[in-house]
């Protein structure tokens, strides 16, 4: 069986990458990782955020006013 770890490299984000994506401080990013509804994986002392689940979480937490959504043609 072949182990393909190389393809998984971009499947997870670090806390620093997540903070940069959201334009928040690292302290705020670490606080997010303690929320019950936030997708996080802990490996020993490391915290990683599954990218697909994180982006879905961001979409779920984003509210777009109906008028703007219709203008954007996503409603």
Please list, in sequence order, all residues whose beta carbon lies within 8 angstroms of the beta carbon of residue 75, skipping any fewer than 6 positions away.
66, 69
On whether the CB atoms of residues 15 and 45 are closer than 8 A, the answer is: no
pLDDT per residue over 22-56, tens digit each?
999 999 999 999 999 999 999 999 999 999 999 99
Report CA torsion sign: 49, 50, 51, 53.
negative
| pLDDT of 36 | 95
| pLDDT of 1 | 47
| pLDDT of 75 | 44
Write down all domains in the chain, each with its CATH number in brackets. 6-72 (1.10.10)
């Amino acid at each position: 069986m072949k182990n393909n770890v190389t393809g998984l490299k971009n499947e997870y984000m670090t806390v620093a990458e997540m903070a940069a994506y959201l334009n928040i401080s690292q302290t705020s990013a670490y606080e997010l990782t303690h929320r019950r509804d936030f997708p996080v994986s802990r490996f020993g002392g490391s915290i990683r955020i599954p990218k697909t689940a994180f982006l879905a979480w961001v979409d779920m937490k984003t509210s777009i006013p109906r008028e703007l959504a219709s203008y954007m043609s996503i409603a």
